[in-house]
């Protein structure tokens, strides 16, 4: 590469944190004099809307207390009145499928109760409602997160002096037995029982709260904290992010969020997180600061996105602010984004007609485990995330304050164009490249979805950008990645085993190269390495254009039935011109593929398999080739141009 240098790596002795902070300081200082950035996009990346100013961003406290809490409180009032007959948007909420619901209900009620003044004439009625609902739900299934939520509710009532009135003695005795982290942790070796590793944090939070309630001594919480810290150290080491698996390499939204969740459990129980945890929060904040955008969009890849991608950014930035690991200008930028994100949540994700958050209708699709059967619980857990982060900002002196940053759009223009976040290095490399270009935030992860997720295109090694390049929750279509079907029926794809990752840049041109000596054999829950075909891959990212080239090398003669790749997009008015598809409307303007026998484009708006968390794709380009024997190098590639 000649003059090319390692993109966004540490240069000299200046830590990445300080380099990012310096860029943000420069952004903030120049925010009042630099021309505004390009306008943000709608959910489908098609219609520009005006760039927000500080005056157009309501204070976070006003959004939470004036727009979010009234809807959740109305749901709780209806619950108190209707009990088990309650339906929300036509869905019976007590359907037995939401295993966290009793805890979410308890926490929502408790967070409301502790704000009611003692002189309010309705206070006794509200307390009686909690007492009645706690008896109603005490025997319902309530697992893991539900246990934590319920413990948090009881602790808030205890601190407010309301516990004795809100929960009768028999119900409290039942809860003391049932609200226990040991229901999903093996006490012999402190391993999780059939849960991903972010549930260590849930168990830890439960144990800490049980100590405050006087229900157990600190030995359990101390051991759970030790297990969490060991997991970070073992699978990410110096990089400070949580692998959701035991070393398979699944680094996603949860991996970045978990440090903030751990910190919140300490803060909630009245103590300071360990210095190591605070350091991880700072690393997570670096990732989220680089994702700030003009639309209020959230994290872009992996599972559990939609409004939870948005609240993940809010939670991390809020934890970083309250732990004082952001400087003053970073804090101002973070608060401005959070005000914008809160507005985006109420304007886009809340449906006033249904009286609910909407992750399931209007062409939206979410993960199967977050199906509409969880509609009440999703409303309450999302509201809780806004409530507790709002309390952080109020504590910091931002109550009802408009963002101090007068030109947020200009400030964002001066964030680093390109950053690289390493998650792990060793036998396999795990990393995330973040590129800011033309108002888009583009994330390119090289990770392994691991057990249960490796086959889903939300974990593929492809670019993601909210509103332009989204994935489909639980989707398995070969989005921007070739799937090879062999004569024996095996399906192979380059999804999981990245080695020798190198990132270089020259000016505005960023190049990523990597190799995979094994492809991922699909068809089972766990990824299976298959060495019949290897691949060397190159990404080139330039302003308005992304190119990927793969050179596949067979080991011996490999009979193929076919190979296939797709590109689904929000862009419309499509026409096929040889190997290229041109779009007349939308952010993506052209898609070209090479190495396939033929490509074609067709609409998919009505196909639920192509509905993303924010809405339906408009079109799908399919490129494929038929039967052949692979006995020499095969080069496949694509180029995507966007505005």
Average pLDDT of the residues of the chain: 91
Of all helices (H) and strands (E), which one includes residue 211? helix 199-212
CA–CA distances in Å: residue 154 to residues 77, 176, 200:
19, 10, 21
pLDDT-based confidence at 45, cuts 50/70/90?
A: very low
CA–CA distances in Å: residue 347 to residues 67, 333, 344, 352:
10, 21, 5, 9
* Arithmetic mean of pLDDT, 405-410: 88
CATH 2.70.98 at 417-642, yes or no: yes
In the predicted structure, residue 23 carries a pLDDT above the cut 80: no
> What is the spatial distance between Cα 236 and Cα 258, in angstroms, rounded to a whole number?
13
Beta strands in 470-532 (DSSP E): 483-486, 491-493, 499-506, 509-516, 519-521, 528-530
* Arithmetic mean of pLDDT, 487-494: 98
Q: What is the pLDDT of residues 495-536, one digit of tens each?
A: 999 999 999 999 999 999 999 999 999 999 999 999 999 999
Burial label for 121, CB within 10 Å (0-12, 13-18, 19+), is exposed
Q: In the chain, what are the domain boundaries? A: 15-93+320-415, 417-642
In the predicted structure, residue 27 carries a pLDDT above the cut 60: no
Q: Give the Cβ contact number of residue 82 at 10 Å.
A: 11
* Arithmetic mean of pLDDT, 623-641: 97
pLDDT for the residue numbered 256: 97
pLDDT-based confidence at 44, cuts 50/70/90?
A: low
State pTM to two decimals: 0.92
Q: What is the pLDDT of residues 245-293, one digit of tens each?
A: 999 999 999 999 999 999 999 999 999 999 999 999 999 999 999 999 9
In the predicted structure, residue 406 carries a pLDDT above the cut 90: no
In the predicted structure, residue 447 carries a pLDDT above the cut 50: yes
For 393, how many CA atoms within 13 A lie in the half-sphere containing its CB?
31
pLDDT for the residue numbered 4: 35
pLDDT-based confidence at 51, cuts 50/70/90?
A: low
Contact 637, 548 (CB under 8 A): yes
In the predicted structure, residue 38 carries a pLDDT above the cut 50: no
Beta-ladder partners of 635: 551
Q: What percent of the chain has pLDDT over 70?
A: 91
- Give the CA-trace dihedral at 78, 80, 86, 87, to 10 degrees: 30
pLDDT-based confidence at 163, cuts 50/70/90?
A: very high
Residue 599: which of 634, 563, 635 has the closest Cα?
Answer: 563
Contact 54, 405 (CB under 8 A): yes
pLDDT-based confidence at 50, cuts 50/70/90?
A: low
pLDDT-based confidence at 196, cuts 50/70/90?
A: confident
* Arithmetic mean of pLDDT, 616-631: 97
In the predicted structure, residue 88 carries a pLDDT above the cut 80: yes
pLDDT-based confidence at 55, cuts 50/70/90?
A: low
The residues, any chain, with a CB within 8 Å of residue 54's CB and separated by 6 or more, are: 336, 402, 403, 404, 405, 406, 407, 408
> What is the spatial distance between Cα 63 and Cα 387, in angstroms, rounded to a whole number?
10
* Arithmetic mean of pLDDT, 595-608: 97
């Amino acid at each position: 590469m000649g003059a090319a240098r390692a993109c966004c790596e540490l240069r000299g002795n200046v830590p990445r944190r300080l380099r990012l902070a310096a860029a943000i300081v420069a952004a903030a200082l120049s925010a009042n004099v630099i021309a505004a950035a390009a306008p943000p996009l709608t959910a489908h990346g098609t219609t520009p809307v005006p760039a927000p100013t500080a005056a157009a961003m309501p204070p976070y406290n006003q959004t939470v207390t004036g727009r979010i809490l009234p809807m959740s409180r109305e749901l709780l009032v209806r619950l108190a009145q209707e009990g088990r007959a309650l339906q929300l948007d036509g869905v019976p909420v007590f359907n037995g499928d939401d295993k966290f619901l009793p805890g979410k209900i308890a926490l929502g009620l408790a967070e409301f109760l502790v704000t009611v003044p003692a002189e309010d004439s309705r206070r006794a009625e509200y307390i009686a409602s909690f007492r009645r609902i706690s008896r109603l739900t005490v025997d319902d299934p309530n697992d893991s997160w539900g246990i934590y939520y319920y413990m948090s509710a009881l602790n808030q009532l205890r601190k407010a002096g309301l516990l004795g009135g809100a929960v009768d003695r028999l119900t409290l005795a039942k809860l003391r037995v049932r609200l226990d982290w040991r229901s999903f942790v093996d006490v012999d070796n402190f391993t999780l029982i059939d849960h991903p590793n972010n549930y260590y944090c849930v168990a830890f939070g439960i144990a800490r709260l049980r100590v405050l309630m006087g229900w157990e001594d600190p030995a359990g919480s101390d051991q759970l904290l030790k297990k969490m810290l060991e997991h970070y150290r073992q699978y990410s080491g110096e990089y400070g992010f949580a692998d959701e698996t035991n070393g398979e390499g699944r680094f996603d939204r949860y991996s970045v969020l978990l440090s903030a969740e751990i910190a919140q459990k300490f803060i909630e129980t009245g103590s300071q997180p360990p210095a190591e945890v605070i350091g991880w929060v700072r690393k997570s904040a670096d990732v989220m600061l680089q994702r700030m955008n003009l639309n209020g969009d959230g994290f872009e890849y992996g599972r559990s996105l939609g409004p939870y991608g948005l609240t993940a950014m809010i939670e991390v930035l809020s934890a970083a602010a309250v732990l004082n690991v952001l400087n003053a200008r970073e804090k101002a930028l973070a608060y401005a984004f959070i005000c914008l994100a809160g507005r985006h949540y109420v304007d886009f994700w809340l449906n006033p007609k249904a009286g609910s958050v909407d992750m399931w209708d209007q062409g939206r699709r979410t993960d199967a485990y977050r199906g509409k059967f969880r509609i009440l619980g999703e409303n309450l857990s999302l509201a809780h995330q806004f409530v507790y982060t709002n309390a952080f900002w109020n504590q910091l002196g931002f109550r009802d304050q408009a963002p101090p940053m007068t030109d947020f759009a200009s400030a964002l223009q001066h964030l680093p164009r390109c950053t690289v976040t390493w998650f792990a290095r060793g036998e396999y490399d795990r990393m995330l490249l973040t590129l800011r270009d033309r108002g888009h935030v583009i994330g390119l992860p090289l990770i392994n979805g691991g057990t249960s997720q490796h086959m889903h295109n939300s974990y593929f090694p492809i670019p993601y950008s909210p509103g332009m390049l989204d994935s489909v929750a639980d989707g398995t279509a070969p989005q921007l990645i070739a799937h090879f079907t062999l004569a024996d029926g095996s399906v192979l794809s380059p999804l999981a085993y990245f080695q020798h990752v190198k990132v270089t840049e020259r000016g505005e041109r960023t190049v990523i190269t990597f190799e995979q000596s094994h492809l991922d054999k699909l068809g089972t829950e766990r990824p299976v390495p298959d060495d019949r075909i290897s691949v060397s891959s190159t990404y080139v990212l330039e302003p308005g254009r992304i190119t990927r080239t793969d050179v596949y090398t067979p080991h011996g003669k490999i009979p193929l039935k076919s190979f296939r790749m797709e590109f689904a997009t929000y862009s419309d008015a499509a026409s096929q011109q040889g190997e290229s598809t041109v779009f007349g409307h939308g952010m993506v303007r052209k898609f070209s593929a090479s190495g396939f026998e033929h490509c074609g484009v067709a609409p998919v708006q009505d196909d639920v398999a192509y509905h993303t968390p924010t809405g339906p794709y408009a079109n799908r380009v399919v490129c494929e080739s038929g039967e052949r024997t692979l006995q020499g190098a095969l080069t496949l590639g694509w180029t995507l141009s966007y505005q």
